[in-house]
Structure 1
Amino acid sequence: MLRVLICVSVLAVPLSANAFTGADLNKLCTKTDIASRSACGAYIEGAADGVFNTIDAIGGTTGPRVGQYFCLPPDARSQQLTDAVRKFIAENPNAASFNASTAVSLGLGKAFPCKGATN
């Protein structure tokens, strides 16, 4: 019986391995329960942190540089980040099909551009 459960689980994984899209993130962020709101904010903050760390690893973030998507103010709040990303997705319908982390990067870049950035 255990082997059957393992086989079914292995077969189900490829069916559920779809990318988390901008539309999925937006849908999560529209929910009002505490768990969904926390997950939304955590995803956006995590994606923003991941992008920041990637850019830091390839050239630094001490100032505006080519490829630096956004410059968050030190006092930015989670809700501000969420609002910025949701606004970007609403104003750019094709962003709903983007990978969610791409939508986060672009949304934050629109709301929090780096001064003097060339991108």
Structure 2
Amino acid sequence: MLRALIFASALAVPLSAAAFTGGDLNKLCTKTDVASRSACAAYIEGAADGIFNTIDAIGGTTGPRVGQYFCLPQDARSAQLTDAVRKYIAENPNVAGYNASTAISLGLGKAFPCKSGS
């Protein structure tokens, strides 16, 4: 009986969830209130960290390899990451419909490309 109840509850949950897009991220990042700006920076830093760790798990982040999207300098600051992503989205409007983490990868890759032998 409990399984049936759990199954019925699962069916009641909407089957589609809206993804957070590059456009959504850009809207968040253009707001001027402290909470929105902090959320923007935290989202970008978190996604960059997640992408970096995923790449590390599948083969390393010590240089340009298949799947290596960006190479952040040791002294990169949050504002630099945010500016790079916002600039990329502004210059590439089609990215607004992409998943936000994809837009972040592309923006950071443009601003902080890996150099050979990095």
For residues 50-109 of structure 1, the C-alpha deviation after alignment (integer angstroms, 9 at most, x for no partner) is 000000000011122121000000100101000000010011110000000000000000
Counterpart position of 1:17: 17
Could you tell me how far apart the structure 1 residues matched to 2:86 and 2:12 are?
A: 31
CA distance in 2, matches of 1:68, 1:30: 28
Q: Distance in 2 between matches of 1:51 and 1:12?
A: 33
Counterpart position of 1:5 = none
How many residues align? The count is 108
Structure 1, unaligned stretches of length 5 or more?
1-9
Shift of 1:25: 0.1
1:115 aligns with 115
Give ranges in structure 2 of 5+ residues lacking alignment. 1-9
Structure-2-length-normalised TM-score = 0.85
Distance in structure 1 (CA, Å) of the matches to 2:54 and 2:46? 12
| TM-score, scaled relative to structure 1 | 0.84
Q: Distance in 1 between matches of 2:28 and 2:12?
A: 23
- Which residue in the other structure is 2:7 paired with? none
Shift of 1:13: 5.7
User: 1:1-119 residue pairs with structure 2 within 5 A?
Assistant: 14=14, 17-116=17-116
Provide the C-alpha distance between the structure 2 equivalents of 1:65 and 1:15, rounded to a whole number of angstroms: 36
1:11 CA drift (Å): 9.1
Q: Which amino acid aligns with 1:61?
A: T
CA 1:116–1:29: 2 relative to 1, 3 Å: same
Which whole-Å deviations, capped at 9, do the CAs of 1:10-40 have from their partners, x for residues lacking one? 8996388200000000000000111100100
SS of residue matched to 2:105? helix
